[in-house]
Amino acid sequence: MRNIYFIVIISLSLFALGCSTAQVHRSAYVPLPQPSMRSGAPSQGKSMLTAGAMTLAKQQPVEDVTDVTVNTETISVTNGSANWVPRSQMNLNWRYRFTKNFDMGIGGEWGLAAGKQKTYTDDLNLTPKGNVVGIGLSFGYNVQIDSQWAVAIAGEYLSFTIPYVRQQVATDLVTPINAPEYGTETVGVYSFSIIPRMEMGNATVFGGVTFRNHPTTPKLEIYANELNFISDDNVDSGSTYTIITVGAEFKLNPVLRLLVMAFQPVTTTPVKYFPMFGLGLAWDMGAAPRTQAPVTPADGMPPAHGAPAPGHEPPPTI
């Protein structure tokens, strides 16, 4: 009899969830759409370790206003995405050169929670907690055109842990009806880059284009029943951004390189970005140091102090 009672209670609960609507506000802390931190030039040693950061200068929310009907009442709301993005995004990559022109490696990106920027407007002002962190694999292939010009292709796949927060609201789409729920969701981010470059002595000038998806979360979703809300994803993989890049790499010494880059995402949905900048250092591990030919005294130069006089000169007189 008790088992039947529990079955009835569970059935009624599921029925109630299936019949009641749910209005949900969300926001998520997602990574910046950045190019791969590389010039395209292969390492001279067997591997290369690169560390640096990308910095966001400015972004602009992109939101549309739409009419939503809730319980026969029409309400105008903004239906943009609810994303927070890092002000600074750290990069760390290690690549191993399998052949002269092909490398693979592991790497990661880390968006600092401090200084993150909100890309939307919302009366609830939900703020995700924690850092956004991605770890994954990369590859690069170099095509040498001549002694000065070359083109590289590069790809990455990073698995990001993205913090999010969500809260159910009443049918007015503003009034909260429960406490915010915090969590994280795993989303894959891929990128593919084409990087032409020109060698100029100890400097390499490069540019290129990168295609990379931009994770996002909808600000507001209205569900026909709460079962759909419970089973739905909180963060989507998002649309593909196109990113234009220019930069330069300088050889400071045989094993250390300085990387400076600027890039502009030309895609504007869900977030419109202004130019961003990157700075990094690359350690060419195992690169051979420069060698210098030994310096020999020129003919006619006087011998060093204490050295014997040449045999053809007369002995000194007393």
Model confidence pLDDT, tens digit, residues 52-84 = 999 998 998 776 666 656 556 665 566 678 999
Query: Per-residue confidence at 286, pLDDT binned at 50, 70, 90?
Result: confident
Distance CA 259, CA 269 (A): 29
**Right CATH for 26-221+235-285 from 1.10.150.450, 2.40.50.140, 2.40.160.20, 3.10.20.70:** 2.40.160.20
Distance CA 275, CA 60 (A): 12
Q: Which position has the higher pLDDT, 196 or 303?
A: 196
Highest mean pLDDT among 114-118, 154-158, 286-290: 154-158
Non-local CB neighbours of 313 within 8 Å, separated by 6+ positions: none
DSSP assignment of 24-92 equals: EEEEEE-------S--SPPPSSSEEEEEEEEEE--EEE---EEEEEETTEEEEEE--B-EEE-SEEEEE
Highest mean pLDDT among 69-73, 166-170, 293-297, 304-308: 166-170
Q: Which position has the higher pLDDT, 216 or 15?
A: 216
- Residue 165's nearest CA partner among 178, 152, 151 is 178
Amino acid 117 reads Q
Share of the chain above pLDDT 70, in %: 77
Share of the chain above pLDDT 90, in %: 62
Query: Per-residue confidence at 106, pLDDT binned at 50, 70, 90?
Result: very high
Query: Per-residue confidence at 22, pLDDT binned at 50, 70, 90?
Result: confident
Instruction: Work out the end-to-end distance of the chain between its first and last CA atoms, rounded to an integer number of angstroms.
Output: 132
Please name every residue paired with 25 in a beta bridge, in sequence order, or none if there are none. 167, 220
